[in-house]
């Protein structure tokens, strides 16, 4: 995979909703001179409880839209799409594609941790992609998995610090906490929005990973950073632009001034 350092085209990012903003936030911090186009497929949110065929269909429409905007690469900022649609996405994309799973797995296999837990949507956990990739490199590691389907709507409803969020965390993760894990992997880009609540639940004693920092690290290998360009990201959604803007502003480090509704 190679890029021209003079390629000024934007980086395309898509997710089912707000979650991919946690990836974009890290990219803006670490690659501030790049331009970004973000697509949130709110019309089909959440992806995590949909059929594999539907997720592939949604993902293909998202990459076709981003390609129509002349992006130089695409980040699949959705773990569900990365887990079940990545092969189809790469086959149809005319530009390089980055997923959010492999960078996290690369970090996990470099550590000495013996017990790791993966949490994500129903579809991501059902795919078993994290466990399969990790076991290729660390056969003796103990892996626990847990689907947490309520976490995405909690984030999308802006309920990150609420009692409902804390109850959901206890409901889904009490068994995992009992295993005294070394590392927790947030296998959904929505989940970093509640990372403070998760850290508190585990008494700040474990390492919690999410994909944003590792995607940034990966892209820094391809795009050498020079002077900062002060162009704000461009946002598109397939439904509810006002809602996306309001909720996005609650946890994003840049104000979202404009969101455009598109039909893909």
Catalytic site residue 148?
no
DSSP 90: H
Nearest to 44 by CA among 74, 73, 78: 78
CB atoms within 10 A of CB 22: 25
In the numeric block, the tokens 């129903």 are attached to 122
Q: Which distant-in-sequence residues (6+ apart) come within 8 Å of 60 by Cβ?
A: 85, 88, 89, 92
* DSSP-derived 3-state class of residue 184: strand
Beta strand 97-98 pairing with 73-76? parallel
> Is 73 considered catalytic here?
no
Q: Quote the tokens at residue 162.
A: 């609420």
> For 187-197, what is each residue's pLDDT tens digit?
999 999 999 99
- At 231, is the pLDDT very low, low, confident or very high (cuts 50, 70, 90)? confident
- 10 Å CB burial of residue 111 (0-12, 13-18, 19+) is middle
pLDDT per position as a tens digit, 2-46:
556 568 899 999 999 888 999 999 999 889 889 999 999 999 988
The catalytically annotated residue of 26, 62, 73, 78 is 78
12/223 Cα distance (integer angstroms):
14
Catalytic annotation, pick one of 26, 62, 148, 188: 188
The pTM (predicted TM-score) of the whole model is: 0.90
């Amino acid at each position: 995979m190679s890029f021209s350092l003079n390629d000024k085209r934007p980086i395309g990012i898509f997710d089912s909703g707000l979650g991919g903003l946690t990836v974009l936030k890290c990219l803006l911090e670490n690659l501030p001179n790049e331009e970004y186009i973000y697509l949130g497929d709110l019309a089909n949110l959440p992806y995590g409880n949909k059929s594999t065929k539907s997720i592939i269909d949604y993902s293909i429409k998202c990459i076709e839209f981003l390609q129509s905007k002349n992006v130089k690469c695409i980040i699949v900022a959705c773990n569900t799409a990365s887990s079940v649609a990545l092969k189809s996405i790469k086959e149809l994309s005319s530009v390089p594609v980055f997923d959010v799973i492999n960078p996290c797995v690369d970090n996990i296999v470099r550590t000495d941790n013996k017990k790791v837990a993966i949490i994500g949507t129903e579809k991501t956990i059902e795919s078993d992609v994290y466990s399969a990739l990790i076991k290729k490199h660390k056969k003796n590691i103990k892996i626990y998995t847990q689907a947490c389907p309520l976490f995405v709507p909690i984030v999308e409803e802006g309920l990150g610090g609420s009692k409902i969020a804390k109850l959901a965390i206890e409901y889904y993760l009490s068994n995992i906490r009992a295993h005294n894990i070394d590392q927790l992997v947030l296998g959904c880009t929505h989940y970093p929005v509640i990372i403070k609540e998760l850290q508190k639940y585990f008494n700040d004693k474990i390492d919690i990973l999410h994909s944003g920092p590792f995607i940034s690290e990966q892209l820094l290998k391809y795009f050498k950073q020079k002077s900062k360009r002060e162009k704000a990201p461009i946002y598109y959604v397939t439904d509810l632009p006002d809602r996306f803007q309001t909720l996005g502003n609650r946890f994003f480090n840049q104000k979202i001034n404009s969101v455009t509704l598109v039909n893909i």
